[in-house]
Structure 1
Amino acid sequence: MKLTHALPLTALVAAVSAAAQAQEITVATVNNNDMVIMQSLTDEFEQAHPGISVNWVVLEENVLRQRTTTDIATGGGQFDVMTIGTYEVPIWAERDWLVGLNGLPDAYQVDDLLRPVRDGLSRDGVLHALPFYGESSMLYYRQDLFDEHGIEMPEQPSWEEAREWASELHDPDNGLYGICLRGKPGWGENMAFVSTLVNTFGGRWFDEDWNPEIDSPEWQAAIEFYVDLLGNYGPPGASSNGFNENLALFSGGRCAMWVDATSAAGRLFDPSESDVADALGFSQAPIAETPKGSHWLWSWALAIPATSQQQDAAQQFITWATSREYIELVGERHGWTSVPPGTRTSTYEDERYIEAAPFASFVLDAMQNADPTDSTLKPSPYIGVQFAGIPEFQAIGTQVGQTIAAALTGQTTVEQALVSAQRSAERAMRQAGYYD
């Protein structure tokens, strides 16, 4: 009897060898829409890189930050790619926790990356993360409601005007709220917005000697305004609403106004994702005493922890996911309003994107005009618009976010919340050795 192999011996050996060499990378990312799209395109990456498979860990923003920070600080090695931001990259790079991205291929076109984003993800001129998307913040509003009530949006709205409009448009009996803002506690959730509010009210996190100023008159005025505004004209349970929750409310037609990330614009202008796509207006983030620091600058980026055992494969993934080719792929598959914004000059020169995204030039200007080195009315010693770029800020910002959320729910007064937050911040800064 003649025996036959299912595969020729050479093919069988090759298959076994390829299986032995296959690498799995674990990617930790946030559950924002752009990242969900990235996950949906995994097959495209794996087909182009047959020796690499991708395992996803998709988490809510606060949980992601806690998991990645703990893992990298302890050398856990759980992840090969981490989604982190403009705050973490310089701090973690200084501690040698991230792989420096020297020698990226010419085809990646590093010079195409927007300069403010690129600088924010670099240390000593070396990129330590690649930007997946970048953003500033802006005011979204219902143009149909503004027209109905005879309200005209100025080129630069003020917060007092926003409060007046919210009071006029607030109609909770019909499921419409005057304004939606972040209330969920977290240094990157409610405090991302609140920090810009404090900035424009003339406040700052620290004076030039690193003394916290959270109980200052400027903070007091800003937080009283915030609590009053959301308490009177916001949705119920605002203290539980972060970016994704407010995006769902606004896109469902439940908010007359919303101040948040420019990265939401693509989804809000997509009629398949948004009930208000045909009635959407946008403007600059409102200001109070000063325009300084009224809109933030942020990038969600992909970085490789130094503990990764699959660094070559991880770099192949992050260069793919942040490339011009990836943007083209998303545009073709999901529409040009869905491409990751705020990373590449070429995106803002692409007629397909410009035609689909009426907000494109506005967002580009907002990002280029946000200055993390000069974001407060009084001089400050830190870099950052919606955060202070020091390691201690993550804990301080989270603690302050919790006390402000407590004031928002009425568990404490604004004054008590800020006094408590001030004491906590002073203790943290003293323990960190900023002063005696």
Structure 2
Amino acid sequence: METVEARYDEADRERIVPEPPKRVDAPERKPFERDRARVVHAASFRRLAAKTQVVGPQSDDFVRNRLTHSLEVAQIARDLSRALGTHPDIAETAALAHDLGHPPFGHNGERALNRLAVDCGGFEGNAQTLRLLTRLEAKTPGAGLNLTRATLDACTKYPWPLSEAPVPGGVHSDGMTREGAKFGVYDDDRPAFDWLRAGAPAGRRCVEAQVMDLADDVAYSVHDVEDGTVAGRIDLTRLDRDAVWHTVRSWYAPDVDDAALDAVLERLQSIGSWPRSSYDGTRGSLAALKNLTSDLIGRFCGAVQQATFAASDGPFVRYRADLVIPEDTWTEITVLKGVAAYYVMQADDRVALQERQRELLAELVEAVWKQAPAELDEAFRADWHAAPDDAARLRVVIDQVASLTDASAVDWHARLV
């Protein structure tokens, strides 16, 4: 019987910079296992613990931050990947890495930095992730973490540059309007991108990247509702359908009518663990909510697994098959997003805070630019001196600010502005 390892060839395991064999007394690990370890030990991965997911990590001890979200996405991706016969280490690593490029304040910070980086090609969290993996993280000079081709490709959610990106539309997972186009590589990172995409169909994501993307969707649709319920913002037993459906259409699915959405909610409410009484903060109530979270994740992933197996015999490796998401499953996920969007993301206090965060980042970028290279971290100072023009130097400043956590961005602003 063919092993999952055997489904990947030497080109999939190739690294940008060839590496010598490890010491004979070192623990034996396969290439994709090494990729996972490198992401887990990366500085940018640790910083996710202090970066906003939906609300700031300093606001509540319970809410998820970018790190806990990434760990949950990784667990979902690994389980689904194993069920499909895709390499679980590749899908898990892509999930662990998928938010590395997020700046302070989540998508709100991404939006602010994109406006400020117009003269150097814009800012996009996924392109920043590729930049970190292939350039900024310190493992192999000139190659970042020097991950394998298959893993880097799985980390590439949008496999195209800005010049080929679709017209932006909709909203991000935390409710921010998508102003900038979604793309996966800056122009000066094209050599690494072209290397990892060698032999790949133009604009198509490998199945491992599709698994990562679905795991992300499932995780934040379910967990944002959980966080909102515990925070007292959402009561799943008393939803304002008219308001939520308006939000669903405004943000995610403009063509879905009330009758279809009512049917979706009734299906979700028929799940045995759907709450019949309001959340009250007791352990029993929290346990019931956790059971609902588990049931929803299993429901969505199970439906996708069945549909994918029905559509293809596989193997579900790289470009030999695609993930299939049933329309009913997609709509159920969308309804949960709409619930969180209406009750949490549109709250007046959050909107006002986001405006101040964007102002802070704009002032900080200006201050760092004026005081560079003296105020840059040593690694970015070297990048500044190596930059050939002002556009490249602006990119260094953006890299520096994007690397900061929410708290360190506030501290830098207090010190420099």
Range into which the TM-score falls when normalised by the shorter chain:
under 0.3
Answer 1 or 2: higher relative contact order, Cα 8 Å, separation at least 6: 1
Of Structure 1 and Structure 2, which has the larger fraction of its residues in helix? 2
Report which of the two has the higher share of strand.
1
Instruction: Output the TM-score relative to the length of structure 2.
Output: 0.27
TM-score, structure 1 as length reference: 0.26
